Structure formats: structure tokens, C-alpha cells
Structure 1
Amino acid sequence: MDSIRSSQITEGIQQILESVFVGLCRKVGTSQVVAMRRDVVDISYMVENQVRTSDEFSVMVSGSYGEGLRLKGSDIDNMFWLNNHRVIWDLSQSQYYNTQRQTLILCDCSASPPGFTLLNLLSPSMCREIQRACFRMNNRYCISSSKYRQSLSPDNRTHGPCASGAVGTLEYDHVHCFVSDFWPPSASPWIDRCHSWPQPHVVDDIVKNGCHFVAIGHKLGNHEDHEWRISFSRAEQKLVYVMNHCQFLTYGLLKLILTEIINNGVGDNDKLLCSYHMKTAVFWVIQQNTIPHWCSQNLLEGFSVCFKLILKWVYEGFCPNFFIPDNNMFLSKIHGIKQHQLYRRMSELYEKGLAFLLHSPSIRSCIIDVLYNPRNSICTDDHTLISEAEFDRNFFAEILHAYLPPGKLNIQSCIRYLPTIEQIIGSPLLTQYQVIMLQYSTARVLQYTAFILHMETYTHKSKLRYRADKMSCHMLKLAAKFGCITDMLYIAMYYYKTIRYMEAISTIHMIKVKLAQPYVMHWYNVDTEMYTEALGGQSWSTKMRQAVAWIFRLDNRIQYISELIPEQQSALQNHDHLLCIRPFILLYMLEILCCRHVDTMRAQTALDDLQTLVHYDQGQLIPLEFRDISWQILGICQQVTGNLQAALYSYQQSLRQEPINKIQTATEMRIQSLSMDSLE
């Protein structure tokens, strides 16, 4: 009897362990989903960096977003560095550079804590921000990290070395840094430490790619305002990439526990632990080979070892940097009474054992489901954890968010993208995800080029204007063949902009027919059964063209239609380059604007449909982040059709929404204009 009961207990625990694994796969991502995310982001940044010239800057996405995590509250960390500036560790390394073309910067670690350095300018720099940040120290020009950070991001809120902001609901941290092609001498012992992990070819690749320097000094250093922190972001990303999926899920679980339990309800200034500490613990545990075999069956064992290591660090007040262990990442943060309080709290959690995870909402739901349904079989096979429709929804969302708009908006800048994409797409090393990402990028570049070409030629002689117009129309139609359903809206906008109302109305009708299909993905809403029945097994190109109705993003630097210029200018003043609109909202707007010239009854019908949608939608077609611009567009349409009282109400409603699109200035301006008109 006892043996039966023991067997049942063991079986129950195993079910709970498997349920946690399945829950994490759904929350953090299956191995297939994580690989897709990385491929899409990698190819996006590869294109961006290859397009830039040698005197411009390079960019990479770092942190959890670049590693493949998409947890709630995570932001995008972008690192930027000048291509014609390089940091060296000793003067002998200057022989590898053409000093006529590249500005060299010399490290001086002699007076800085481990992991930090001063940067001395060896040759003149043409960068105004660097010139402003320089000061004399010991007969050398030193670049002040605090001055450099301030000169680059005077208007943004700062977070450590980063300038923080948001595009819609997506928050970002931008950090401007310098790059070195050489591995730091202080991190050389790390190379000898890599006996079992990572493998030698990974170590060689990491060392070959050097490091970065971010503009933040050590709080206890002698030169806090001037020091720079040595950053291993690129090396860390490569290490996360070579983790197996169980190790990656352990990292994700630690981040969830940090967010949902340890830092839950704690103000930003009082958070002692961060996700970087979690990642460092996973690195150390993997390298020390504490867990000989990482798999779904011992995921919680790996988590327990990592958590216990962090607990040890908190007790000792010492968290060793993975690459430079002498750099104690707790030194200026975790000490005194706060250290004791954190240790006591984490100890209490650790002593609860498996029950500790029940404090996490994300994990609790998975465990409770198993406890209430003990006979339910749990399949941990990667390919059965997520349906085809769910994967496609993730894939298309990833493509949309990963695309980087051109840095400079002119014909020359846009044209540089096309041969770059053509060259990359011929590579046999591309994954299927990256091919689709390049296809989507091509559509976006063609759309940018078409509208910029129109902007640059509409004042020219009629013959040149006619040729440019034909090219723009051709590019927009070609882009629609590469992109999704709603990319046809660019064609309708262009027809309206060039006073071809009947062509625009015809295009709008085609879009409506496509959007009415029951299998179409509207944002994250999709009928999975209808989608699978209609498009299961089809190529992603076909699915994207026939079934994806994603958000519509207008670059605020381009004037698409005159009716939205105030909104775009308002957003730009608030450092937001994109105006995010739901497709149905823009579709009705264009229909109203076109039909009021040729068919007033149809214009009124479209206005009634738009009003019904905005007033009564329950978040299905207009999620929270699109409510401000949706009310605004309804108001614009009511105003142009003469219903000024209704327009005023819609603008007031727009002001009451979450200011996601940053259009409040335009809304207030329109309200003021209506008020003045009523007085007259």
C-alpha cells in the first residue's frame, strides 16, 4: 500500500514538474518560437548595419529582447556606436587602424574599479557630442561619460546609461556607446576558465568580437562622472544563444520570479536585484557544471541551484561579474539593512520548496490545473505545445515589431536598402524566417521610397512628375504583393493624395472584401479553426498576403495625407516616430474622404460605420493602445463632413484615452479651432 502511495506521489510531482515546463514554454516560448524570434531580429539588424556607411553608426539589440524573451514589461535595449571611432587597450594596437579615417580612444583602467575605465581621446573627433564631453585630465583629453550621455539625450528620461522612451506601448532603452575590436585584458582569465562551456569555437567568436563601453561610472569610483563601464552585451547574447532550451527556460523562470514575486510592488529605486543578476547566475551554474544534464525533468532542480547561488551572493553581498569576477555587481547597491531584509525574504521563499512557485501568477495557473486534473496527460513535445495558427500569429507579430525604418528619409537612403536586401537574400545560410523578414522589409522600403519620391518631385516639371508618379504606383503595387492585406492601404492613401478618388474607392472595396474573410488575423484575434482550415500548410508568404491585417504604422516624418499632418507633428514633438492605427479605422477614414467628393451617401454610410465601431467596439478591433487615435480620426471625419458638435465630442473622448500615440497637442489644437469657429 505504501509503495502504491509513494508511486502516486512521485507521479504527481512529475506531473507538476511537466506542467511547469509546459507553462514556461507557453509563457517564455517553445524552442521553435525562440529560434524564430532571434532569426527575425538578427536579420533585421544585419540589414540595417550593412546599409549604413562607414562614417555613420552601427546598432544592435541587446538584453532579453535580443535573446528571444518577450515577457510582459520587457523593453527593447538598443546599443549604438560610431563606426569611425575605435577603443584600444594599448598604443601598439593603433597599427591596425588608418588614423586618417578613424578616431582612436585609449583605455586607462589604472584608477578605476574592476570592470570600469577612463577613455582618453588620442586623435581629434569630428563628433560634436564627443567634443562637448571632453575635458583635460593628466595632460590628456578624457571623454566624460556623464557629459556624453547628457549631450546625446538631453530630453529623454535616463535609466542608468540609457535614454528611455516609448513607441506606442513598446518601451525602449537606447544606449550610445563605444566599441573595441579587442578583448579586455582584465577578462582574459575568462578564456582559460571555459573548459566545458561554452565550446572553444564560441569562445573564439566572442573574443574576436571584442566589447563595448557604456556611459556610466562606478558609484564608489574616484571618477564616477567620467568613467565608462565595460559591456559584454554581445558576448552575453552569444552565450544565451548556445544555451539549450531547458537552460533558457530556467533563465526565463528566474526573470518571472524576479518580476512577479521578489520585485512585485517594489518601486524602481528600491529594486535591489535585476534580470542581469539572474542571467549571471545561470551563466555561472552552467559553466561550473553543477547540473550535469539539463532537461525538462530537472528544470526545477536547475532553477533551485541558480536561486540558491543568488541567495548566497545576497548573503555575502558579492555578485561576481561573469567575465570579470573581481567586479562585484552588488558593491554599491546591496549592503546594510536592505541586504539583510532581502536575504531574509528570499530565504523564506526558498524554504517553501515547490510551493514557492505558487506565488507566481504565471506558474500557479499551470500547477493548479494539474492538481485539479491529475489524470490529464501532459505532452512536452515542442511541436505539439503550440498550434500552427498560434505560431503564425507570433511570427507575424515579430516581423512587424522587428522592422527598423530607414534612419534618413531621402531617396538615396531608401535606394541603398534594396541592393543590400538582394545581396543578403541570396545567402544559403538564411533561415525560412529570415527570408520572410527580408520580403517584408522589401515591401516597407518600396512604400517609403514611393511616398518620398512623390514628396521630392511633386513641385517639378510635369514630365518628371508623371514618371515619378508611375514609379510610385508601381512600387506600392509591388509592395502589396510582398506584404500583408493592409499594405494595400498605402495604395489607397496614395490615390487619395493624388486626387484619384475612384481608383482609391476601388482599392478600398478590394481591401474590405479581403478583411471580411473569417480566417483573417485582426491584431492578435484569429479564429484558429477557420485559419487552419483555409491556410493550414500554406507558405508564410501566402498567409501574410491573404490573412494578416496587422496594425498600420505611419512614419511621422512622411506626410501621407494632409488630414493627419497635425497628429504626426504632435507625435514627432514628443519623440514618437510612428503613428499606430487599426486598419479598419484608416480604411473608413479614406472611404469617407474619397466618397465625399463623388458619392455623399456612401460617405455618410462609411461615417456611420466608423462611429459605430469606435463607440461600441469592446477591444476586439480597437485595443486600448489605439483608442486615442481612433476617436481622433472619427472627429476628423465628422469635422470634414460638417458635424462639428459630434467632432468636438470625439476630440474630447480622444483626450480621455491613454495618450499612447502622443497626439494630445493636435487634439487640443483641433478643439480650440472648433471653439473659435463656433464663436464666429
Structure 2
Amino acid sequence: MSESVFVGLCCTVGTSQQVVMRRDVVGINEMVRNKAIKSSQNMTLLSGSDREGFRMKGSDIDFMYWSNNDRVIWDLSQRQFYNVHRHSLILSVSSESPPGFTLLQLLTPRAERGVISALVTINGGLYISSTKYREITCSNVVPNSTVHGPCGSGVLAGFLEYDTAFCFACDFWPPSASSWIDRCHTWPQPQVVRDIVRSGCHFVAIGHKLGNHESNEWRISFSQAEQNLVYSMNHCQFLTYGLLKLFLKEVINNGVGDDEKLLCSYHMKTAVFWMIQQNKIPNWCPQNLLKCFWYCFKLILKWVYEGVCPNFFIPENNMFLSNIHGEAQNRLFVRLYGFYEKGLASLLHSPSLRSYIVKVLYNPRLRICTEEQTLVSETEFDSEMFSEIFHNNSLLSSDLYPIMKYLNTVEQLTFSPLTQYQVVMLQVLTASVLNSAAFILQNMYCSTTENKLMYIADRMSCHMLKLTAKFGFISDRLYIAMYYYKTLRYTEALSVIEMTKVNLAQSYVMYDTTVDAERYTEAVGGQSWSTKSRHAVARDIKLENNIIYINELMTEQGVSLQNRIGKMYIPPLVVLHMMEFLCYRHIDTVRAQTALNDLQVLVHHDQGVYVGVLLRDISWHILGICQQISGNLQAARYSYQQSLRQFPFHEIQSATLMRIHELG
């Protein structure tokens, strides 16, 4: 049965190749961003399940942010490593706090405004209140976020749950976690231990419920260390962790009220860490997967019975102390023991795995192939990889200086040893950065009276946009068409549009998850991912709302930006027909009407194949703009009204209402 569950988990959680790809794509994007802004205020770390390599439905996205100019130290002797004119230093004072928690005392008068606003006086010293700091920073990333634990939480686009935690970083390993280093005899490997210790730790804004200074205490966070530990797991260990997460979500917490969901995925991860390090399971392999799961589940059951869950890095920190005790502890133990008595049959309650388990129960002699490469086809893998690359391609900026730093960082990384996934991610990142730089330059010099400067800027912009065709997706060529249109070169724009139209019309082109697998394989199967991206992959067009691409969308971008939406996503065929219409109306009115008709047919009749559900608001709106320009005001009004009926993914309703008002 273990082999069947292994196959089911590979299909649900991912094969080892998929997990490595996800981590590499996310990691290289984060590396470029943080290297480029190393001296600035906002470092970012994607943490949690997404960063670990999971892509399970319902998982939230966790981000940690910290200022590179604020540093926490453990004792005053560590001041020597910092320039106090550049860094504000914070001292960890843990003598009055429970294990794993501390107070943070500001040592230097210089600090960012958020820190100053969160200061309180304790025993004559100035300390940063975790409660105040959390309230101040809760909505820094997304407006109207609500406080949840140490984070600002909420839902984006109606379905994507997020947690954002503003924290402080420390370059030194916590003295209270020094015993962890001594425990690492067999796992993790010495190099992993060195990397973890060298990376230090963070402090997140939440105190211990039973501490003397709960509202002012901070919890020591080992998120980076845990990420390294998860990365050092073999695939069976990772799948065991995934199976525990699924079991928690779909079985243990199924039908239970939020106030009774006492166990969380962090407890599951901690159990796997302890089981690996204590070497209780000698052979983590697909054939032993269920045995590995069962050993971990029994450990959690033991913890609940005893009311003690030792933190992996600071065992003296009992993570059950504040909420799993008394009657709540008894109820949880009875529930878990009920699953224990049922044995592995409890997994039948998991919708994600039931079909795989039933298959073996009814046919115990069934031989299951555990070769991972047979579980995911080349086309399926490519589709996921290009989706990962597209959604993690987030380095756009509206200022030329950070753009140039991004390019410089990318250039430096090309001389580093990179995986095949990191290479293709860097190429797509380069295309996006070049696109942004081209339009920023054009916007900077479009109104200058210096013809020479404008000519030089234009040549540079055109050169950068043409380079994107060598690095990006087929659809990225539409940025060239937008640039030519913006600079009144309609014939050149139409030439690019016609070529792109021919490319996009090929039957083998992969758009999002829509692809004819057989024809895709015939056309580009076995070729490099760089070749595939240039010749057989199309993605939505991303417009950074701080950058003006074409004047016709300035109002919409401005409104979206006011609502804290940083980017606009438009289906490539919508952009293609829009640009075709806008260009032809200056050259050939008959062809302009044909282009408008094509856009209308696409928006009216597409069944979610080329115009995604979340992009219908902007697609209907663009159709309305084109109809309004053509003079068909009745059709434009209908399109704007349809835009208002769609899910407000881009938050452009007020722009749509303004357009309707213009119609009279």
C-alpha cells in the first residue's frame, strides 16, 4: 500500500523533480531581488509551504520582511561588527522571557519611524513593543489586512490567502539554540549546519501567552533554518511531511471549529525533524512511506498525551504550553487516539488519497510503479514550470536605478553555477527587466527638447525590446508593438503584430494550462526550455501600473494603482487585437474594424481558454475602450457594464464608471 500512497502523494504533492524546480524558480527570483536591493530597507523572504515546494490547494502564501539597516545582537560585544551610523542596533534581552522568546531593546537613537512609534519603556530602557509594531506594520503590504498571530493576513483576488510578517534579523545564531548544533551528528549534514548557523535567525512580533511581557515580547523565528532543513530531506521524508499536512487538514481538522484546530502544520514539520534526527526510522524510502507516516503520527500522539511539543531548535520551548492543556488537550487526545485505533484505514478519510488506497485494498496484488518520471509527462511538467516562472517573475520597477541594479545582478549570477531551472528563470526575468527599462526610458525622454537625448533613449529602448524576443515568451513581442505604437510607428507595430499573430496561431502553442500535448511534443519535445519559451509558450501580458505603456490605459492603471494593485494582467490575444485596432485606425479603417470585430468575438465567446475568468474585467473594459474610440457608444456602454459584472480582479470599477460617464 505504501507504493500506492507514494504515487498518490507524487501526484498531489509533486515528484522530486517538480519540487526542485519550484524551489529553484522561487529562490533565484528572491536572490536577484534581495541582491539588487541589499543596501535598501526591504529584504523579503518567501516562507512557509510555498517556499518549501508544496503547491497544495488552499495553502496560503507567507512573506517575511525586514529592514537591512536594523540588526539584533545577543550581547554588547557584537556591536563591533556594525557601523552605528548606518545600522540601528537592537539588543535581545531574554532573561525575563520564556524559552524561545525575548525582549528587544533599542540601543541606538537612529531607527526607522515604525520602530520609534512602537517604543515602550521597561525598567528604564526603550524596548520595541511587538503588539504596537505588529499593528503599525500589519497593512504595510496589503491594505486592510487583519492581525493574525505575528502577521498581517487576508485574502487576495478572492481566493489567495496570505500572511505578511514584518520582523527583525540577526546575523548570529541564538545562544539558547546552541545545543541544536551539538545534536547534529547524522542529520543534517555538516555543511547544512554551517549554512544554517551562518544565516542567523529572525524575530517575529508575537509574545508568549504565559510570559511576563506578552504584549512586548518577540518570538525567535527559525524560518530560514527550517527551509534549509526541508531542502535537505530526501523525497520520501518530504512526502511524509506532505502526508502529515494532508492528514491534518483533511482528517484531523475536518469538521472541527477554528477554535478546536489546536494542531498546525508546524507541529507536523517539527515531528518529522525529530524523527529524522533521532534516526528512529532507518530507511526512508517509498516502500516504507506509511511506516514513516505512522511513526511520526505516534510521536505527535505521544506529545499530545504528555502535553509537551519540544521546539526542534530550543527544546525547552514547549509549543503546546499556551493552548494544548486541560480539557482541550483531553479532547484532542481522544480524537487522535480514535484515528490511532483505526490504524492506516484512517487515511481513507483523506479525499486526496482515498482513491489510491482503495485501489490497493481491493487488489492487494496490484504492482505499483514508483518511477517518478512516468507520473508526470513532459508537457505537464513544462506547463507547471512556465506557470511557476510567470507567477514568480516579479522584479518590475518604475525607477531606472533599481532596474539597472537588477540587470547587473542578473549578469553577475550568469557566472555562478546555476541549475537548468534557474537559467530559464533568469532569462525570463531578464526579458521583463528589459521591457520595463525600455518604457521607463521612453517616458523619461518623450517630452525632452533635446533631440539627441531622445534619439539615444529610443535606440536603447528598441534594442532592449528586441533582446526580449531572445529571452522571453512569444507573447513578450507584444511589448515591442506597444512601444512602436506609443512612438507613432504604426507600420512597424503592425509588422510585429502580424508576426506574433502567426506565432500564436500555431496549434502547438502552450497558453497557461491550455495546450495540445501531442502537437506540443511533436513541435518542441526534447528541446531546451529556452527554445520552448521563445517558440511555443505564451503568457498574459503584465503591465506594471507605475509605468505608462500606452496612453489609452493610463486611467485604468492609475485607478488600479490607487487601490494598491501593482500590476495589470491582460490576455495576449486581447492585447494583440487591441493594438491591431489602435494602429490600423490611423492607416486603414476597414482593417481597424476587422480587428475590433476579432476582439469582440474573443471577449464575447471565449470560454475561459484564452481569456481567464480573473481577467474578464480588464478584457471587457478594453473592448469598451476600443468601441468607444470607434464611435460605437452603445456597444461600448454594454462592454463597460459587462466589465462591472466580472470579478474585480484589477480594481478598476471607478475607471469603468468614469468611461460610462464620458459616454453621456
Q: Aligned to 1:142, what secondary structure does the other structure show? A: strand
Residue 174 of structure 2 is matched in structure 1 by 184
Cα distance in 1 for partners of 2:332, 2:644 equals 42
Distance 1:369 1:470, change over 3 A: farther
Is the 8 Å Cα contact of residues 135 and 147 (structure 2) preserved in structure 1?
no
Cα distance in 1 for partners of 2:90, 2:84 equals 11
The reply to whether residue 604 of structure 1 matches residue 593 of structure 2 is yes
Is the 8 Å Cα contact of residues 379 and 385 (structure 1) preserved in structure 2?
no
1:177 Cα shift? 1.1
Distance 1:618 1:224, change over 3 A: same
Cα distance in 1 for partners of 2:209, 2:656 equals 44
The reply to whether residue 420 of structure 1 matches residue 409 of structure 2 is yes
Q: Aligned to 1:361, what secondary structure does the other structure show? A: coil
Residue 668 of structure 1 is matched in structure 2 by 657
Task: Provide structure 2 residue ranges, at least 5 long, that are not aligned to the other structure.
Answer: none
Choose the corresponding residue for 2:385, options 368, 386, 395. 395
Residue 433 of structure 2 is matched in structure 1 by 445
1:382-412 Cα offsets, whole Å, 9 max, x none, are: 2222111111112111111222324x52112
| Paired amino acid for 1:436 | V
| Paired amino acid for 1:118 | L
Choose the corresponding residue for 1:480, options 456, 469, 476. 469
| Paired amino acid for 1:563 | E
Distance 1:666 1:310, change over 3 A: farther
Residue 345 of structure 1 is matched in structure 2 by 335
1:237 Cα shift? 0.5
Q: Judge which range, 48-57 or 525-534, deviates more.
A: 48-57
The reply to whether residue 206 of structure 1 matches residue 196 of structure 2 is yes
Is the 8 Å Cα contact of residues 144 and 226 (structure 1) preserved in structure 2?
yes
Cα distance in 1 for partners of 2:116, 2:513 equals 47
1:165 Cα shift? 5.2
The reply to whether residue 115 of structure 1 matches residue 105 of structure 2 is no
Cα distance in 1 for partners of 2:616, 2:327 equals 46
Q: Aligned to 2:126, what secondary structure does the other structure show? A: strand
Q: Aligned to 1:352, what secondary structure does the other structure show? A: helix
Residue 559 of structure 2 is matched in structure 1 by 570
Task: Provide structure 1 residue ranges, at least 5 long, that are not aligned to the other structure.
Answer: 1-15
Residue 67 of structure 1 is matched in structure 2 by 52
| Paired amino acid for 2:65 | F
1:264 Cα shift? 3.6
Residue 132 of structure 1 is matched in structure 2 by 117
The reply to whether residue 174 of structure 1 matches residue 164 of structure 2 is yes
Distance 1:603 1:346, change over 3 A: farther
Residue 10 of structure 2 is matched in structure 1 by 25
The reply to whether residue 405 of structure 1 matches residue 395 of structure 2 is yes
Cα distance in 2 for partners of 1:90, 1:620 equals 59
The reply to whether residue 253 of structure 1 matches residue 246 of structure 2 is no
Q: Identical aligned pairs, as a percentage? A: 63
Cα distance in 1 for partners of 2:580, 2:260 equals 52
Is the 8 Å Cα contact of residues 398 and 544 (structure 2) preserved in structure 1?
no
Is the 8 Å Cα contact of residues 450 and 472 (structure 1) preserved in structure 2?
yes
Q: How many residues align?
A: 658
Q: Judge which range, 658-667 or 299-308, deviates more.
A: 658-667
Distance 1:532 1:105, change over 3 A: same
1:78-120 Cα offsets, whole Å, 9 max, x none, are: 2222222211111122222222322211011122222111100
The reply to whether residue 79 of structure 1 matches residue 64 of structure 2 is yes
Q: Judge which range, 149-158 or 289-298, deviates more.
A: 149-158
1:228-265 Cα offsets, whole Å, 9 max, x none, are: 11000010001001100000011111122222233345
Is the 8 Å Cα contact of residues 166 and 576 (structure 1) preserved in structure 2?
no
TM-score between the two structures when normalised by the length of structure 1? 0.92
Is the 8 Å Cα contact of residues 117 and 230 (structure 1) preserved in structure 2?
yes
Residue 513 of structure 2 is matched in structure 1 by 524
Residue 448 of structure 2 is matched in structure 1 by 460
Is the 8 Å Cα contact of residues 167 and 577 (structure 1) preserved in structure 2?
no
Q: Aligned to 1:45, what secondary structure does the other structure show? A: helix
Q: Aligned to 1:83, what secondary structure does the other structure show? A: strand
Is the 8 Å Cα contact of residues 74 and 174 (structure 2) preserved in structure 1?
yes
Residue 618 of structure 1 is matched in structure 2 by 607
The reply to whether residue 322 of structure 1 matches residue 307 of structure 2 is no
The reply to whether residue 302 of structure 1 matches residue 292 of structure 2 is yes
| Paired amino acid for 1:122 | L
Is the 8 Å Cα contact of residues 557 and 577 (structure 1) preserved in structure 2?
yes
1:273-297 Cα offsets, whole Å, 9 max, x none, are: 2221111111111112121100000
Q: Aligned to 1:219, what secondary structure does the other structure show? A: coil
Residue 573 of structure 2 is matched in structure 1 by 584
Residue 10 of structure 1 is matched in structure 2 by none
Distance 1:65 1:569, change over 3 A: same
1:118-161 Cα offsets, whole Å, 9 max, x none, are: 10011122411111112222121111122222223343333322
Cα distance in 1 for partners of 2:340, 2:599 equals 54
Q: Aligned to 1:362, what secondary structure does the other structure show? A: coil
